[in-house]
Chains A and B, each alone.
Chain A
Amino acid sequence: EPEVTQTPSHQVTQMGQEVILRCVPISNHLYFYWYRQILGQKVEFLVSFYNNEISEKSEIFDDQFSVERPDGSNFTLKIRSTKLEDSAMYFCASETGNNEKLFFGSGTQLSVL
């Protein structure tokens, strides 16, 4: 079965630093998502992306966050100035767009110190 690939699996950073989380969605998928999950809590929607622009975003996705699809394969989430509360597991997901199932990556565990 095709997979969504995320790198790195773990990222440790200092508060105030910028981080970029990387994702390679499944090649024929058109819709891309970022979710996050704080330890012990539910999976939270951050942003969806289609046709090279954001289609939906949550209240969590403030000016510190940005997403980009710099080439035909990668989909990145940038946090400009990390805060302690940004520590979480970040999941990338993709789908074809025809109300098909979301495929999730294995996540990037971000720890902000």
Chain B
Amino acid sequence: LAKTTQPISMDSYEGQEVNITCSHNNIATNDYITWYQQFPSQGPRFIIQGYKTKVTNEVASLFIPADRKSSTLSLPRVSLSDTAVYYCLVGDDNTDKLIFGTGTRLQVFP
């Protein structure tokens, strides 16, 4: 049973804000939501993590509604270098088996 569902792909243009939504209907009480970015032939790289409401760091924001059944990664003013695959994961601190879904392939055009 897949834990997360994301759009397969998204297109954007430089300077735009991009919002990628992930569904996790079966999220458990102790699960955190974490997003990773992956460039071709590189390992995934941590972007942001949250439990509820809103989290912001220097590269992105993460919006989590009260029911926590979905989350939205927001990338402000994307550039060409943001072209990558973005993965949403859920898991708790007792999970040693973080599972990646198929991810969302973001293509940023000039």
Residues of chain A having any CB pair with chain B under 8 Å: 4, 31, 33, 35, 42-45, 48, 50, 55-56, 58, 89, 91, 93, 97-99, 101-107, 109
Contact = CB atoms under 8 A, between A and B. Distances in A.
Contact of B43 (A58, A98, A107): A107
B100 interface: yes
A107 B42 contact: yes
A45 B102 CA distance: 13
Contact of B100 (A43, A99, A105): A43
A101 B34 contact: yes
17 contacts: A4-B43, A35-B100, A42-B103, A43-B87, A43-B100, A56-B96, A89-B41, A91-B44, A98-B93, A99-B92, A99-B93, A101-B34, A101-B46, A103-B46, A104-B43, A107-B41, A107-B42
Contact of A106 (B42, B97, B98, B101): B42
Given A103-B46, A107-B43, A44 B32 contact: no
A89 to B, nearest CB: 7
Contacts of B42: 106-107
A56 B95 CA distance: 9
A48 B97 contact: yes
A98 to B, nearest CB: 7
A97 B36 CA distance: 17
Interface residues of B, number: 22
Contacts of B98: 33, 45, 102
Nearest to B48: A101
Chain B CB within 10 A, most for which of A4, A42, A89 = A42
Contacts of B5: none
Chain B CB within 10 A, most for which of A58, A98, A99 = A99
